[in-house]
A = this chain, B = another copy of it.
């Protein structure tokens, strides 16, 4: 069966989007369509150009006999700004206010479109780094962690508050939650993380950073390394921030329960990205 160029372009686009950060040899596509490698090469040139122009991502060409192409997501600045603005405006809605000044976020974190766009953005920011695994803590950060991990093509590891029988043997640590200064426990299944892994920590919310710090301490138990920290929302008004190196999309600057007013700004994403990413 022979494939026309138009069919190849559609199928290759789908294939590359579904296999981010995987090296796909030209011969794979040549065999798949019964086409000459020169035709595949031309196809990939068109896809590469369109992916870049349309802000879909980067198609990297790896030359040589063991070469091929690798797709990785790259979110353009305008799209990132759109998402951050949208997040700021939905989070500022006074209906989110819960007793104690907490914010209801389930609708945002339950929306797969928002979660995926956020995942693409974080994956885009860390696409150049060597990352073996994405780590989060149960429960709210899980969807975001998967959205990032699927674009980085790495597994997800979930730290829990309590140990469950289905985790097998676990490593348990105590940590001080930053805002309430309470001693808390977190556990991680021993076989879920390989020694020496490079880990991207992802979470939905960071107050003083106690939980994120706990995860960093947990990584030490596994001789693993922090490759990055990405949070959707950070809360600003803390005397001391425990964690320095992180990316945030939204910063919660003030919650006034009496006046029912939530003040939000954009997080440090664009500043950090300009300086070092």
Residues of A near any B CB (own CB < 8 A): 5-7, 9-11, 13-14, 17-18, 46-47, 49-51, 53-54, 56, 98-100, 102-107, 110-113, 115-116, 138-140, 142-143, 146-147, 149-150, 153-158, 160, 165-168, 189, 191-192
A250–chain B nearest beta-carbon distance, Å: 16
- Check A9–B9 contact: CB distance below 8 A: yes
A49 CB contacts on chain B under 8 angstroms: 7
15 further interface pairs, Cβ-Cβ under 8 Å (given A7-B46, A110-B155): A5-B6, A9-B10, A10-B13, A10-B54, A11-B50, A17-B17, A98-B165, A98-B168, A100-B165, A110-B158, A113-B153, A139-B139, A143-B146, A143-B156, A146-B146
A153 CB contacts on chain B under 8 angstroms: 112-113
> Can you tell how many copies of this chain the complex includes?
2
A142 CB contacts on chain B under 8 angstroms: 139, 142-143
18 A-B residue pairs with Cβ-Cβ distance under 8 Å, sorted by A, are A5-B6, A9-B9, A9-B13, A10-B10, A11-B56, A14-B54, A98-B165, A99-B165, A103-B166, A104-B166, A104-B191, A106-B158, A106-B167, A106-B192, A110-B155, A112-B156, A139-B158, A143-B143
A7 CB contacts on chain B under 8 angstroms: 46, 49-50, 53-54
Chain B residue nearest to A147 (CB atoms) is B146
A139 CB contacts on chain B under 8 angstroms: 138-139, 142, 158, 160
Contact A110:B192 (CB < 8 A) given known A9-B6, A10-B9, A54-B11: yes
A9 CB contacts on chain B under 8 angstroms: 6, 9-10, 13
Which DSSP category, helix, strand, loop or mixed, fits chain A's interface? helix
Contact of A189 among B14, B46, B106, B150 (CB under 8 A): B106
A106 CB contacts on chain B under 8 angstroms: 157-158, 166-167, 189, 191-192
- Check B50–A10 contact: CB distance below 8 A: yes
A168 CB contacts on chain B under 8 angstroms: 98, 104
Q: Cα distance A107–B146 when bound, in Å?
A: 13
A107 CB contacts on chain B under 8 angstroms: 155, 191-192
A103 CB contacts on chain B under 8 angstroms: 166
Residue with the highest number of chain B CB atoms closer than 10 Å, among A10, A46, A54: A10
- Check B146–A115 contact: CB distance below 8 A: yes
Q: Cα distance A13–B138 when bound, in Å?
A: 34
Chain B residue nearest to A204 (CB atoms) is B166
A185–chain B nearest beta-carbon distance, Å: 15
- Check B112–A146 contact: CB distance below 8 A: yes
- Check B156–A110 contact: CB distance below 8 A: yes
